[in-house]
Every structure is written in C-alpha cells, then in structure tokens.
C-alpha cells in the first residue's frame, strides 16, 4: 500500500476524505492545519473520524500551525462554521474520541517521516497549505524526497467559493500556497470547479448512501446535514460537495481523471479582489515551466462507486 500523510482542517468533507484515505492508503499520520473551524475542534474531529474508521489509536494525529503564515497578532483567519455547522460536523456534536493528539509538532513529524521514507511518502493536502510550506522552509531537503503532492485547492480559471476569485484553502494562506507550488514537488491539483462539476451528491445519491445502512453511511449523513442546506442557499447547488474526498479518490485512482493538463500554476497574494486566486497559465503566456498537473475532468460514476465502497466497508 502507498504511504501517505494527510494534511487537513478537519470539518465536513475532510472527515469523509480521511475515511477514504484510510481505506485506500497506508496512512502514516494526520496533520492538522488552521482552517475551517476552531483549531481544537478540528483536532477532535480528526480523532473522532479515525475512530469511526475503526482505527482509533492506530493513526497518529499531529497538531500543526493554527493560523496562516502572515496572520498578525489577534487577527483571525476566516473560518466557515456557516458551511459545516458550529462543530464542523453538521452540528452532530459527537463525543470525544479516546485517542489524543501527539505532542510532536506536525511539521517535525512530516520532516522526520519523509526522511525516514525517502521517495516513498505522498502528501494528501486538503487544507490551507501552512504546515507543508513551513516544513519546506524548515527543512528544504525534504522536497526531493517527497514522492508526490496531491492538493485540493484553487480553481482552474473558474469561480471561487470563498470569494468570487478564490477557493478557500488558497485564500486562507496564499503565501503558503505560493511556497508549496513553487517548491518543485511533483504536484497534482484538483480545483474547486472539479468539485462542483463532478463531486456533487444529490438527493438520490444520498438515498443510495443511506441504503448502505452501515456506520460509515450514518456518519456521512450526519456530517453533511448543514452543508446540504448551505449549498442550496449560497452556491445554488442541489446536493453536497466533496472536494476533499474527490482529491483522495483521484490520488488513489489517477484513472479517475479523464482529462488533465500540465501547466504553470501560481497564486495571487495581493489583489484587491483576487487574493488567493490561482493563476493557471493554460496558454503558457508566462513562459514558465509547468509545475502542476491540473485535473480537468472526472469520471463521476466511478467516483461515486469509490465513495460507496468506502462507506460500505465501515460497518
């Protein structure tokens, strides 16, 4: 099984993504980055999700950076309780898991794990890229030893979700995204527009999931309760979006990507309206070498099958 490390701001779809990764990969550890909701809550959400997968105590969870690189003083980055519920878990307020987070910092864990498995570790990034950027800053010698980086973030010349221009993960820490994208790690990016086009689970898909009658399907329903209403009201989307789960599925099964392109990708860090916008230079106007494989089309039925397989397996 391929060895991976997950970097997550665990709320909403991050949980289903973690279940998906635990199903398809040998997960070495889970790192938490500041993002979706209160940091301590995200840690609890990740620990609880590991327990739901039946792997409590087996997958270490590491606390990383709680805030973006440039966050000053008592400023707070934008959290999205309105999307995922106050607890980031659809308001389900699950009990605390028995497993506790490790004391080692996530960045030190990442550096040690990569050096201990040179050329073997793949990173599954489903949060702002703060932890990964800081690890690269702390020890640039990890870069050539990382096998692949899979990122859910940005858009490919398309509509953002947190502002018209920007997708949430890149918007929260654009400087981190720049550092990571320009580091030279082989990278695949699944942008937000892939999620709105190919990852939406509509009411009838939810019915198929409920019909599984497993602990996994019950968890899926609970976690997605708030986001379902939010999507209808704000994004005019009839169903739930699964950006992080889609990223895991693409990483596990690259043939899921029916179309992709290799482009130069960078991130706007200034911009009155465009901070966090991902520049995907499809026509090569910047004359820079391609640094990212950008996902452009997904086989949706296969994605749904993979999701069902994951939820079916959690009894």
Tokens encoding 301 = 């039925």
Minimum gap (Å) between residue 48 Cβ and Ca ion? 15
Structural contact between residues 5 and 121, judged by C-beta atoms closer than 8 angstroms: yes
Minimum gap (Å) between residue 9 Cβ and Ca ion? 5
DSSP assignment of 122-157 equals EEEEES-SHHHHHHHHH-GGGGGGEEEEEEE---SS
Q: Return the residues of window 212-251 that contact Ca ion according to CB under 5 A.
A: 244
Q: Which is nearer to Ca ion, 14 or 173 (CB)?
A: 14
Rg (CA), the chain: 18
- Region near Ca ion per CB under 5 A, out of 38-46, 120-128, 204-212, 288-296: 120-128
Integer Cα distance of 30 and 53 in angstroms: 14
- Region near Ca ion per CB under 5 A, out of 3-11, 189-197, 283-291, 304-312: 3-11
Integer Cα distance of 108 and 128 in angstroms: 18
Query: How many residues make contact with Ca ion (CB under 5 A)?
Result: 5
Choosing from 23, 84, 150, 242, which is the catalytic residue?
A: 242
Answer yes or no whether residue 257 interacts with Ca ion by CB under 5 A: no
Measured over the CA atoms of residue 42, residue 47, residue 48 and residue 50, the dihedral's sign is positive
Minimum gap (Å) between residue 243 Cβ and Ca ion? 7
Instruction: Count CB neighbours of 120 within 10 A.
Output: 16
Minimum gap (Å) between residue 14 Cβ and Ca ion? 4
Q: Which is nearer to Ca ion, 152 or 209 (CB)?
A: 152
Q: Which is nearer to Ca ion, 52 or 126 (CB)?
A: 126
Structural contact between residues 240 and 131, judged by C-beta atoms closer than 8 angstroms: no
Q: Which is nearer to Ca ion, 127 or 248 (CB)?
A: 127
Q: What is the Cβ-side half-sphere exposure of residue 229, based on CA atoms within 13 angstroms? A: 10
Answer yes or no whether residue 7 interacts with Ca ion by CB under 5 A: no
Q: Which is nearer to Ca ion, 263 or 278 (CB)?
A: 278
* Window 139-178: contact mask with Ca ion (x via CB under 5 A): ----------------------------------------
Tokens encoding 296 = 């452009």
Q: Return the residues of window 26-85 that contact Ca ion according to CB under 5 A.
A: none
Q: Which is nearer to Ca ion, 145 or 252 (CB)?
A: 252
Minimum gap (Å) between residue 272 Cβ and Ca ion? 26
Identify the residue among 14, 87, 145, 266 touching Ca ion (CB under 5 A).
14
Alpha helices in 139-238 (DSSP H): 168-172, 174-181, 192-198, 203-210, 215-223, 225-230
- Region near Ca ion per CB under 5 A, out of 47-55, 123-131, 175-183, 298-306: 123-131
Answer yes or no whether residue 126 interacts with Ca ion by CB under 5 A: yes
Q: How many helices (H) and strands (E) does the chain have?
A: 13, 9
Minimum gap (Å) between residue 233 Cβ and Ca ion? 20
Q: What per-residue string of b and e applies to 217-243 under the rule 16 or more CB within 10 Å gives b?
A: bbbbbbbbbbbbebbeeeeebebbbbb
- Active site includes 242? yes
Catalytic residues: 242
Query: What is the contact surface with Ca ion in residues (CB under 5 A)?
Result: 9, 14, 126-127, 244
């Amino acid at each position: 099984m391929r060895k991976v490390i997950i970097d997550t701001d665990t709320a909403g779809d991050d949980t289903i993504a973690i279940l998906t990764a635990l199903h398809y990969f040998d997960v070495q550890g889970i790192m938490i980055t500041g993002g979706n909701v209160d940091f301590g809550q995200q840690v609890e959400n990740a620990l609880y999700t590991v327990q739901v997968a039946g792997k409590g105590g087996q997958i270490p969870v590491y606390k990383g950076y709680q805030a973006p690189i440039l966050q000053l003083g008592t400023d707070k980055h934008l959290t999205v309780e309105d999307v995922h519920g106050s607890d980031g878990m659809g308001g389900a307020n699950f009990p605390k898991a028995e497993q506790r987070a490790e004391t080692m910092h996530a960045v030190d864990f990442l550096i040690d794990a990569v050096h201990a498995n040179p050329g073997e570790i793949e990173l599954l990034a489903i949060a702002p890229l703060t932890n990964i950027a800081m690890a690269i800053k702390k020890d640039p010698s990890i870069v050539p030893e990382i096998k692949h980086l899979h990122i859910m973030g940005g858009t490919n010349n398309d509509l953002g979700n947190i502002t018209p221009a920007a997708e949430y993960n890149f918007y929260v820490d654009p400087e981190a995204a720049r550092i990571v994208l320009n580091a030279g790690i082989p990278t695949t990016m699944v942008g937000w527009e892939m999620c709105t086009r190919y990852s939406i689970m509509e009411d009838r898909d939810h019915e198929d999931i409920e019909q599984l009658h497993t602990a996994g399907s019950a968890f899926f329903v609970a976690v997605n309760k708030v986001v379902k209403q939010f999507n209808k009201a704000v994004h005019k989307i009839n169903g739930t979006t699964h950006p992080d789960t889609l990223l895991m599925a693409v990483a596990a099964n690259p043939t899921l990507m029916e179309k992709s392109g290799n482009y130069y990708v960078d991130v706007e860090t200034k911009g009155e309206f465009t901070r966090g916008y991902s520049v995907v230079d499809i026509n090569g106007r910047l004359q820079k070498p391609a640094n990212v494989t950008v996902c452009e089309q997904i086989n949706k039925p296969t994605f749904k099958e993979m999701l069902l397989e994951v939820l079916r397996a959690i009894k």
